[in-house]
Each structure stands twice: as C-alpha cells, then as structure tokens.
C-alpha cells in the first residue's frame, strides 16, 4: 500500500485544548479522503500539521515518508486550501493565479482558466472584496489546477451556491480520474460529498474514532425500523449506534454486518431492514455526545451509553 501521509501519536495542545490527541493513522496515496467530525474535532489542526503550517506538541507526521517541516521537496508537492486563506490587500485574480503558477510545479493554466470561467470569478475586483462564494471558488481553482500530489481542502464549499457546489464535485472527480492524486478534504456536507469519498477519517475531540474505507463503513452497520418494542427486542445484545424515534416507531442504527439470522429475526418481528447512510454513520461514530441536543443532531437522537470508546474503535484507530 502506497502511503501519502502517516502519523504516530500526533498531538497538538493549545493551552487547555487538545486540538489533536494521539492520532495514529495512515492516508493512502491516490485516494480521496474525507476528514469528518463536529466543529472543533481537529480537522483543520490535522491539515495544518501535515502541511507544516503548525508544529506538533508531540508525535510525528510524515508526508511521502519525510517530515514536512522545512523540507522543500515535500512542501512543493503539497497544496493546502484553507477556508480563511489570506491574500495581499491589492491581490486580484491574476495575481493569485500568477503566484500559483510559480509555486506549483504541476500547475495547469488552461484548466485554471476553464474553472475561472465556470465559477464566474471576477477579474477586476480585489480578492479581499470577493463574496464568500467567490473566495471559496478561487480556492477551488488554485487547489485543483495546482495538481499537487497531495491537495488539502478545508471546507472548500463555504458560501458556494448549489450549482457551483455540484460543479465542484463533478470537476473534482473528473480531474482526479484523469490525474490521480491524493486529496484530503474536510466537510460537514457528508450527504452531498458521499459519492466522492473513498476513505473517511472521523475525528471527535481530537481523537480518531474511525478510519475506514467508505465501502467497509457502509457495510459495518445496518438499520432496523418498526414498532419500538419490537425493534428494542431485536437490539438486545447488539450495539446500537443511533436511535431515531418517531411516535411509537423507532429506527435503530446497529453495528454489524447483516447476517441471514438478522434477516430472519427482523422478518419474524415485522421489522424493516435497511442500509445506513454515511451521514448517519458519521453521526454515530463521530458525534455521539450522550447529551447532545436534538437541534445539533438533526438526524436523530444519540443513545447514551453507546458512545464509541477506544476499546470499541476499529484496530487502525487504536493502533
């Protein structure tokens, strides 16, 4: 397996906050990996450390086998598009493109021009006067046209309208297929990006609670719904990741692959079985706050007592 990024015990502490806490993981080369997790989970911190924009408190990060800090040959292969990127006051589109052309060895100007036209990025306005969506679009142009071997996007869609977001997902996939490379992106729009992601790393309060291929994750749980008493009986002895209650009905996200016995048990109890969406799985693994309120958890009510813990987390997350 070709590894692009590897961390061991990576930790970043700010005063009282463990922004990243003993993170050991690997990100495969030539995959699109989603960094998922609630606000403050440590996603930006992870990207800042991997791109040498910040230093770990302890532990280490290796990018293409090297420590990135002050390692020019590694840094020139990285592109980090931050959601709050700063540009010089007088910078216009052409200045940002010119700087990118100098900085990124694989820069594709024709592709950048195509993207600028599609996103309708203004040429005469200084970047600091851009709308939020135009600002994000500029980041996307720089990130994609850089063709950097590893490109990090930190919530690249902020302010983009639905048409522009859909265009971004399409063009990202098209360009990634034509020019395979490693893409790491943080997102809260899990349902929208579901089809883009091959691997996900779910962070919660600075720790990795899941690092898995999306296909494996999808198969790692199932959903059962029906009358509450019947569903709860089915759940006895199984680990319930999420509960959604609707009147006398309940829908449970249950850890574990569906077996023939599960199907028989569900059919006997007149329960419906279904697959679990990535959003629900992430909520189950990455946002399982026992007392999170329902407004913060629109997909359902987390089940107290079933919060993922280190001994329940998968092997890779624990190692």
Ligand X SMILES: Nc1ncnc2c1ncn2[C@@H]1O[C@H](COP(=O)(O)OP(=O)(O)OP(=O)(O)O)[C@@H](O)[C@H]1O
Interface residue list for ligand X (CB under 6 A): 14, 17, 19, 37, 39-45
Q: Based on CB atoms, which residue is closest to ligand X, 5 or 121?
A: 5
Q: How far apart are the C-alpha atoms of 264 and 261, rounded to whole Å?
A: 5
Cβ closest to ligand X, residue 49 vs residue 214: 49
Cβ-contact 317, 208 below 8 angstroms: yes
Task: Supply the minimum distance, in Å, between the C-beta of residue 223 and ligand X.
Answer: 26
Contact 307/268 with Cβ under 8 angstroms?
Answer: no
Closest distance of CB 46 from ligand X, Å = 7
Rounded Cα gap, residues 173 and 153, in angstroms: 14
**Residue 41 vs 121, nearer CB to ligand X:** 41
State in angstroms the smallest separation of the CB of 303 from ligand X: 23
CB of 304 to ligand X, least distance (A): 23
Helices (H), 154-237: 162-178, 190-193, 214-219, 228-235
CA gap 281, 221 in Å, rounded: 8
* Least separation in angstroms between CB 319 and ligand X: 22
Q: How many CA atoms lie within 13 A of 123 on its CB side?
A: 6
Positions of E strands within 187-261: 199-204, 207-213, 221-227, 240-246, 249-255
In terms of CB distance, is 187 or 223 closer to ligand X? 187
Least distance CB 260 / ligand X (angstroms)? 40
| H helix and E strand count, the chain | 12, 14
Q: Which is nearer to ligand X, 40 or 219 (CB)?
A: 40
Q: Which is nearer to ligand X, 17 or 30 (CB)?
A: 17
Q: How far apart are CA 244 and CA 34, in angstroms?
A: 25
Residue 10 vs 112, nearer CB to ligand X: 10
d(CA 298, CA 41): 18
Q: Which of 118, 109, 214 is nearest to 166 (CA)?
A: 118
Rounded to a whole number of angstroms, the minimum distance from the CB of residue 12 to ligand X is 8
Judged by beta carbon, residue 194 or residue 228, the one nearer ligand X is 194
Q: CB 14 → ligand X: shortest distance, Å?
A: 3
What is the b/e burial string over 26-45, where b = at least 16 CB atoms within 10 angstroms of the residue's CB? bbebebbbbbbbbeebbbbb
């Amino acid at each position: 397996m070709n590894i692009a990024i590897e961390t061991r015990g990576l930790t970043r502490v700010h005063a009282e906050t463990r922004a990243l806490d003993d993170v050991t993981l690997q990100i495969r080369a030539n995959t699109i990996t989603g960094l998922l997790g609630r606000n403050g989970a440590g996603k930006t911190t992870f990207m800042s450390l991997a791109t040498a924009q910040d230093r770990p408190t302890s532990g280490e990060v290796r990018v293409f086998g090297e420590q990135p800090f002050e390692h020019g040959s590694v840094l020139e292969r990285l592109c980090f598009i931050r959601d709050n990127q700063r540009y010089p006051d007088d910078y216009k589109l052409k200045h940002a493109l010119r700087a990118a052309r100098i900085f990124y060895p694989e820069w594709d100007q024709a592709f950048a021009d195509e993207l600028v036209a599609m996103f309708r990025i203004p040429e005469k306005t200084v970047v600091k006067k851009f709308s939020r969506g135009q600002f994000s679009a500029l980041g996307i142009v720089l990130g994609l046209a850089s063709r950097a071997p590893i490109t990090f996007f930190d919530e690249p869609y902020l302010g983009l309208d639905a048409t522009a977001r859909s265009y971004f997902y399409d063009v990202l996939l098209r360009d990634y297929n034509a020019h395979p490379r490693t893409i790491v992106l943080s997102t809260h729009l899990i349902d929208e990006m579901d089809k883009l992601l091959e691997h996900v790393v779910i962070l919660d309060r600075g720790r990795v609670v899941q690092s898995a291929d999306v296909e494996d994750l999808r198969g790692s749980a199932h959903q059962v719904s029906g009358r509450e008493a019947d569903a709860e009986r089915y759940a006895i002895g199984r680990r319930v990741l999420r509960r959604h209650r609707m009147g006398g009905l309940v829908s449970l996200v249950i850890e574990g692959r569906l077996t023939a016995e599960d199907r028989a048990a569900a059919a006997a109890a007149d329960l419906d079985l279904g697959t679990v969406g990535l959003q629900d799985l992430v909520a189950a693994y990455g946002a399982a706050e026992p007392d999170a309120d329902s407004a913060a958890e629109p997909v359902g009510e987390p089940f107290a007592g079933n919060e993922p813990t280190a001994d329940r987390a998968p092997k890779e997350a624990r190692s």
